[in-house]
Amino acid sequence: MKTLLSSLLALFATSAVMAQKPDSLLARVRYTYVNTTDTLKSGKTRTENMLLFLGKNASLYTSYDKIRYEISQDQKYRAKMMANAGSGKPVAILIDNTNGEWLSTSSNLYFSKENKFFTKEVIALQSYLIEEPAPQINWKITKDTTSFSGLSCKKAIANFEGKNWIAWFAPSLPFQTGPWKLNSLPGLIIEAYEENKLIQFQFAGLESVKEGEHQRIDDVTKRADARPGDYNPIDQLIGRDVGTAYFENVIKLPIGAIRADKEKFEKLRAAFLKDPAGFVRTRSRY
């Protein structure tokens, strides 16, 4: 196992991420993800607030709960630092992150113009970028219509990854994307679910983008002593692709992510789950 892990890490350390063209953010869509087949430790159905960042030619889908949780934890840490400032004594500040362990750390990036699709996964704060074939979904658009918060939508059905999906899309919003891997309709997917509603992406709101709406408390990249390659800790926690979209209104591939194929990444994740401490020690040598 150690030999396999070392080989994988050495391979990934030499991998480079090929950049797709960054895209300016135009809007954000909120969804409520409900999965009755994936229960939490409490036995409750998994429900998570998600966010889709929309650009003209790119989109980024990620956990909104993860963003809000990590920002809240960062604020608590800074408050404790301020409270202990000037004491003259070294203070260990511990922040309990157990309440956020269930949150999704992955994100999906889709570049419609180049027809490129990426999944970003995280192991021990290191991001891995997996390029996948852009989903080819053979949608059948029906005559059924409905509306969500005043948005007129049409119904489409398709079989995708072994499940029958129903999607409601808004032709008035010319974005060929949606939550997760669902895309390729002539309009933004507002709501979608598999036919038994065991998995659902429920529409929770659409919002426009305002310049400077979300700002980092302390942007280290703008300090007078900032160096090339500096990045903000909050971006590392929520994902550097997510940080760029949330704070800077730009969708682009994450800087510092390691390129990986799906099969090798799954082996790497299995090695981490088997021995997290040993995994971190081995990785530190690369």
pLDDT tens profile 134-179: 888 999 999 999 999 999 999 999 999 999 999 999 999 989 999 9
Q: Tell me how far apart the 2 most distant CA atoms of the chain are, in Å.
A: 71
Domain edges within the chain:
18-134+209-256
CA distances from 208 to 8, 9, 23, 171, 213 (A): 42, 41, 15, 18, 10
pLDDT at 4: 36
3-state secondary structure of 205: strand
pLDDT tens profile 63-78: 999 999 999 988 887 7
3-state secondary structure of 69: helix
pTM: 0.86
